[in-house]
Structures are given as structure tokens and as C-alpha cells.
């Protein structure tokens, strides 16, 4: 009887549980539908988020674009299997990267590495080229280093490419790199030298709960439920956000560089000089994370040297950098023997001339067209700089101004074209491109239509103000720039633009006031100090102008504008 009673209670519990689950599932599907992306990462090569092997599933981007993810038996996003032993007469290119290289939003036969391999092999009859895609979402220099050290070297590559992105430095976890024998010395009133010597990557230690979760995620029941249940995907999404928040709010552990720097009694005015066995780094923008980035890139470079292969760093720009609507964020640059290729100028030039979306509107990833164009640009860079073996055909660059080439790039977006065109967010990009072409009426028409959909977008009002400014309608330029500030008063760029409008109208005092507000919002910006110097010159306040230009040179010792103006002031004996 007791067993029957327990069985009855258990049956009622199971029934109530599934009833509650079903009600919640229906509610979430109707009111909070989830973007279901099957889990495609696992622990491999000492990396917790390597790609699963032999994976073949459909995924969806945040903007609702579907694509197929396929991996081979070696956890690479390639459909064919590649042996570790390199075949004779083969040149291998190993590509290490994050979600850009991985190709979120693109099928395997639409991403950069696929196109690059195809382009080179079409032009080579003497050598076979293999391009290996070893990219995965959320990877950075730490994962590139671990993959190359534990797995990548086995492929005997002839060239290693790593992509670099703006978040590479900020995303380096402070608990994964341990420095030994750290020390410091105060060398002057405002200078502290931090001596960096030995360091190592902490191994990934899995707790019992993490191991259990990993086993659960491999089970077919879990895979089946997560492919269909919106409730489970909501729970999974919330948990991942909580875990990420926990990681970012955790204090730096002992042994980490951040922990050491926080506990040596630094003052706000102190300048840190980082001393490594090879060099001294005193860039004022250098942080503990950027130093770790420097060490990781150096280690990747050392591994490449041991393998006797070249390392090419490819700088990937943000979509707004390519459109030209934002200034490139300061990227810490260190002296390096590695070859660097910056894609910004080439992508911007192409985007200004053609209404072909190179990035998805909703995020920062390349469209299939962006991947194809980047593959062509990389190939042309190889040819120009003789990065790969030269043959009679391989040494000819591809003309990206050729109509057939442009149409091929355009058609690579065919699968997603209608969805891209239907997005009202596309109107903003079109407005910017038309503005760059000096087609101001078309720019105004598209940005006005965009504002009808997004009435509280401060960037749109700012853009409309810029368009009217260029059209010579200063009254409307002022009105819409003020509107952008009303919506977002914390953007220093909007205040800079309003100062330009005031300056055009010879309202120099008001122009200076806007620049001062901009400086409060973005302290230490040399561009603002430069503009302040020019503003004080217009008011014949030479003392303040010289002070501003000297501040620019303190921040940017090679700033040509500041050097030229100060030289002119000195030659005229005006100071």
C-alpha cells in the first residue's frame, strides 16, 4: 500500500510537472519566442568552446537568417576531412579566427576560407592550395595560441593567418594567464616600471557540475529537447548570461597581472612602463589586458617561427568603420615582425561605390558577399606581397572594379538578398553610401524614411543634420543635430558636430562650449583638444590655443596638425 501511495504521488508530480512545462512552453512560444541555435561547441585542444566534430545542423542568426554549420572529424568548419600529413606539392594556409572567420550567417561554401581556396586553386595548376578554417565564435588570441600549440602545428601549415578584431583585448579572461616573479619599481614621481618575466596559461579545470553538464549536452534526449523547446533555450540563454556576468564581475585571482597592478598602490596620475625581456612599453593607453594580448601574439609568433612559417595578422574593421560613420577606435599597436593587413580602406572603398551589403544589418558579421570580397582582397594582398608561391597564373591580381567580379560578389548574397532589402535598417546604410557619393537628395530621402521606422534613433537625426549641413541648410542642420543630442546627450560626437555647425555660423563661443561638453564626456581625446585649439585661434586667444595644441602633442607626439600650427605661431612670434 505504501509503495502504491508513493507511486500515485510520483505520477501526480510527473503529470503536474509536464503540465506546467507545457503551459510555460506555449506561453514562451507565443510571447517570448526564442532563437533556437543548437549547441555546436565542446571542450577540445584545451579550449572549452572548440567546435564539435562531425556536426551538421541548421542555425539562425539574431536577425533571423538561417545557415548550415558543418564540421569534419577534426572539429574544423570544413566538410572534407584533412589529414595531418600534408600531401606533396601542397601549400597549406591555416586560418585562426573568431565568429567573423567562422562565418556566422554563412554556409560552409559561402565563407572566406572556402572562397580563398577556390580562388587560388583556380589560378594554380602547379601547386595545390589548402585553406583550413580553424575559427570559432568567441575565440581570441588565447584560443588561437592554444589551438596552434596543441593541434594546429600537426597540419604542417606553410602560412598562418590570424584575424584581429576590436574586442580581442577586452575579451581576454583575467583568470587564464598567470604571471610569475612579478615586480615593480617607482622610477620617478609619476612613473612606475612593472617587470614581466615568466608567464603561463592556466589549464581549463572542469568542476564536477561542468563535467556532468558536458555529458548531459552530449545525450540525444538533451539534443532533441533543445532543438524544439523554446523554454529550455530560454533557460539556457539566461544561464549563459548569468555565467558570463559572473565571470566579468569576479575579482582578478592572485597571480594575474590585474591583481598585481591593483595591489601596488598606484596613483591616478602614475604612468606605467611595462618591461618585458625583449622591450619596454610605455604607451599610455596600454592596459593589463592589452599587455596580455601583446604576450599572446608574441607567443603565437614564436610558435610560427619554430614551425618556420610566416604569420599574417588581418585587421577586421567594424561595419560602422567601413561605412565611415564612426572613427576607428584606438587599437593598441606594438612593434612586431609580423606582417599586418588592414582591411578597412579596401572594404570602405568598395562599400562606398556599391550598394552591396557586406555586413548583416543586425550585427557585425560579414554577409556571404563580405566573405567573398575579403577572400579576393586577401588573394590580391598575397600576390602583391608575394606571400604565396608565385606561378604564371597566381601572380595576377583580381580587378575588383571589373563588372563581372562585382556581379559575382553581388550574386553571392542571393540567398539572403530579399530579407536584407526588406529590412528598414538597410535604409540607414543606403543613406550613408549616397552621402559618400555626394548624392545628397537620395541620402536625405533614405534617412527620412529610416526615421519613420526608428523615431528615437539619435544616429539617424545626426546623419540628417550632417546631410543638411553639406547641403548648406545650416538652420535644419542645427535643428536635427540638437535633436540627436536631445535623444542621446552623452555622445561626444554629437556635441562635436553641433560645434561645427556653430563655427560655420561664426558663433565661436557657442562652438567652444559644445567642445568643452564633448571633452567632459570623452576626457583625453586629442581630436577634441585639437578642435579646441582651432576654436581659441578663431577668438585670437593664442595662450589657450597653444595650451590646447601642446596637450595634443603630449597625447600624440607626431600629430602633424598640432606641430604645423605651433610652428607657424612660433615663426610669427605670436606666442
Question: CATH number for the domain including 480?
Answer: 1.25.40.10
Q: Is residue 172 part of a domain?
A: no
Instruction: Judge if 486 and 551 occupy the same domain.
Output: no
Q: Is residue 434 part of a domain?
A: yes
pLDDT by position in tens, the chain (length 575): 667 777 777 788 787 877 887 888 787 778 777 766 667 888 899 898 999 999 998 888 888 899 999 999 999 998 888 999 999 999 999 999 999 999 999 999 999 999 999 999 998 888 999 999 999 999 999 999 999 999 999 999 999 999 998 888 888 877 778 888 888 888 877 788 888 877 777 766 555 555 555 665 666 666 666 667 777 777 766 666 665 555 555 677 777 888 888 888 777 667 788 887 777 666 556 778 888 888 899 889 999 999 999 999 999 999 999 998 877 655 555 556 778 999 999 999 999 999 999 999 878 899 999 999 999 999 999 999 989 887 656 668 899 999 999 999 999 999 999 999 999 999 999 999 999 999 999 999 999 999 999 999 999 999 999 999 999 999 999 999 999 999 999 999 999 999 999 999 999 999 999 999 999 999 888 999 999 999 999 999 989 999 999 999 988 888 899 999 898 888 776 55
Q: Is residue 143 part of a domain?
A: no
Instruction: Judge if 185 and 236 occupy the same domain.
Output: yes
Would you state the pLDDT for residue 29? Answer: 76
Q: Which of 286, 301, 323 is the last residue of a domain?
A: 286
Would you state the pLDDT for residue 282? Answer: 62
For the chain, the domain total comes to 3
Instruction: Judge if 231 and 277 occupy the same domain.
Output: yes
Would you state the pLDDT for residue 272? Answer: 82
DSSP string, 102-153: HTTTS-GGGSHHHHHHHHHHHT-SSSEEEEEEEE-TT--HHHHHHHHHHTGG
**In the beta sheet, which residues pair with residue 184?**
194
Buried b (16+ CB within 10 A) or exposed e, 472-486: eeeebbbebbebbbe
Instruction: Judge if 481 and 533 occupy the same domain.
Output: no
Q: Is residue 224 part of a domain?
A: yes
Fill in the DSSP letter of residue 558: T
Q: What is the pTM of this model?
A: 0.85
Would you state the pLDDT for residue 512? Answer: 96
Q: Is residue 573 part of a domain?
A: yes
Containing structural domain, residue 535? 524-575
- Strands 191-195 and 183-188, by their bridges, are antiparallel
Instruction: Judge if 572 and 498 occupy the same domain.
Output: no
Q: Which of 266, 286, 306 is the last residue of a domain?
A: 286
Would you state the pLDDT for residue 218? Answer: 63
Q: Where are the alpha helices (DSSP H) in 277-367?
A: 288-306, 319-323, 344-353
Residues 363 and 62 sit within 8 Å (Cβ to Cβ): yes
Instruction: Judge if 529 and 486 occupy the same domain.
Output: no
| CA atoms within a 13 Å half-sphere pointing along the CA-CB vector of 385 | 12
Q: Is residue 256 part of a domain?
A: yes
Q: Is residue 398 part of a domain?
A: no
Instruction: Judge if 498 and 561 occupy the same domain.
Output: no
Q: Is residue 70 part of a domain?
A: no
Residues 252 and 259 sit within 8 Å (Cβ to Cβ): yes
**How far apart, in Å, are the Cα atoms of 374 and each of 114, 160, 369?**
11, 16, 8
Instruction: Judge if 272 and 220 occupy the same domain.
Output: yes
Would you state the pLDDT for residue 333? Answer: 54
Q: Which of 448, 472, 505 is the last residue of a domain?
A: 505
Of the candidates 437, 477, 480, the residue with the CA atom closest to the CA atom of residue 457: 480
Geometric angle at alpha carbon 50, from 48 and 55, rounded to 5°: 130
Residues 417 and 409 sit within 8 Å (Cβ to Cβ): no
Would you state the pLDDT for residue 184? Answer: 86
**In the beta sheet, which residues pair with residue 162?**
96, 313
| Terminal CA-CA length for the chain | 103
Instruction: Judge if 491 and 530 occupy the same domain.
Output: no
Amino acid at each position: 500500500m505504501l509503495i502504491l501511495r508513493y507511486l500515485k504521488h510520483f505520477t501526480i508530480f510527473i503529470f503536474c510537472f509536464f503540465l506546467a512545462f507545457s503551459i510555460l512552453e506555449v506561453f514562451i512560444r507565443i510571447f517570448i519566442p526564442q532563437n533556437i541555435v543548437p549547441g555546436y561547441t565542446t571542450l577540445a585542444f584545451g579550449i572549452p568552446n572548440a567546435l564539435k566534430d562531425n556536426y551538421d545542423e541548421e542555425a539562425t542568426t539574431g536577425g533571423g537568417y538561417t545557415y548550415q554549420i558543418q564540421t569534419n572529424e577534426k572539429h574544423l568548419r570544413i566538410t572534407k576531412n584533412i589529414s595531418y600529413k600534408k600531401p606533396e606539392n601542397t601549400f597549406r594556409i591555416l586560418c585562426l579566427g573568431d565568429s567573423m572567420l567562422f562565418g556566422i550567417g554563412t554556409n560552409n561554401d559561402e565563407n572566406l576560407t572556402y572562397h580563398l581556396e577556390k580562388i587560388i586553386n583556380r589560378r594554380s595548376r602547379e601547386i595545390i592550395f589548402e585553406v583550413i578554417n580553424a575559427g570559432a565564435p568567441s575565440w581570441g588570441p588565447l584560443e588561437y595560441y592554444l589551438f596552434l600549440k596543441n593541434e594546429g602545428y600537426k597540419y604542417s601549415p606553410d602560412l598562418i593567418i590570424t584575424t584581429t578584431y576590436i574586442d580581442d583585448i577586452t575579451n581576454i579572461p583575467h583568470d587564464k594567464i598567470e604571471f610569475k616573479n612579478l615586480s615593480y619599481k617607482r622610477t620617478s614621481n609619476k612613473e612606475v616600471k612593472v617587470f614581466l618575466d615568466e608567464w603561463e596559461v592556466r589549464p581549463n579545470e572542469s568542476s564536477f557540475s561542468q563535467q556532468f553538464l558536458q555529458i548531459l549536452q552530449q545525450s540525444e534526449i538533451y539534443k532533441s529537447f533543445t532543438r524544439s523547446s523554446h523554454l529550455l533555450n530560454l533557460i539556457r540563454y539566461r544561464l549563459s548570461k548569468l555565467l558570463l556576468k559572473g565571470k566579468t564581475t569576479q575579482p582578478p585571482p592572485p597571480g594575474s597581472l590585474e591583481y598585481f597592478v591593483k595591489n601596488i598602490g598606484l596613483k591616478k596620475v602614475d604612468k606605467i612602463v611595462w618591461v618585458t625581456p625583449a622591450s619596454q612599453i610605455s604607451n599610455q593607453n596600454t592596459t593589463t589586458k592589452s599587455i596580455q594580448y601583446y604576450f599572446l601574439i608574441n607567443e603565437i609568433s614564436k610558435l610560427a617561427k619554430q614551425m618556420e612559417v610566416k604569420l599574417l595578422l588581418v585587421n577586421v574593421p567594424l561595419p560602422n568603420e567601413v561605412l565611415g560613420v564612426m572613427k576607428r577606435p584606438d587599437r593598441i599597436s606594438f612593434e612586431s615582425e609580423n606582417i599586418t593587413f588592414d582591411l578597412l580602406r579596401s572594404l570602405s572603398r568598395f562599400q562606398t561605390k556599391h550598394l552591396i551589403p557586406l555586413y548583416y544589418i543586425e550585427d557585425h558579421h560579414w554577409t556571404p558577399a563580405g566573405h567573398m570580397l575579403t577572400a579576393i582582397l586577401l588573394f590580391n594582398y598575397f600576390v602583391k606581397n608575394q606571400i604565396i608561391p608565385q606561378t604564371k597564373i597566381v601572380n595576377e591580381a583580381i580587378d575588383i572594379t571589373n563588372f563581372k567580379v562585382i556581379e559575382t560578389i553581388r550574386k553571392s548574397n542571393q540567398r539572403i538578398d530579399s530579407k536584407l532589402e526588406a529590412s528598414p535598417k538597410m535604409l540607414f546604410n543606403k543613406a550613408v553610401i549616397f552621402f559618400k557619393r555626394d548624392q545628397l537628395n537620395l541620402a536625405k530621402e533614405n534617412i527620412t524614411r529610416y526615421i519613420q521606422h526608428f523615431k528615437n534613433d539619435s544616429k539617424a537625426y545626426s546623419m540628417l543634420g550632417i546631410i543638411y549641413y553639406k547641403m548648406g541648410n545650416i538652420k535644419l542642420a542645427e535643428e536635427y543635430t540638437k535633436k540627436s543630442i536631445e535623444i542621446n546627450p552623452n555622445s561626444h560626437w554629437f556635441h562635436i558636430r553641433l560645434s561645427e555647425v556653430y563655427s560655420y555660423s561664426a558663433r565661436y563661443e557657442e562652438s567652444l562650449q559644445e567642445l568643452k561638453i564633448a571633452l567632459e564626456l570623452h576626457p583625453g581625446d586629442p581630436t577634441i583638444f585639437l578642435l579646441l585649439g582651432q576654436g581659441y585661434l578663431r577668438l585670437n586667444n593664442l595662450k589657450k590655443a597653444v595650451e590646447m595644441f601642446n596637450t595634443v602633442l603630449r597625447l600624440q607626439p607626431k600629430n602633424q596638425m598640432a606641430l604645423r600650427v605651433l610652428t607657424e605661431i612660433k615663426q610669427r612670434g605670436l606666442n
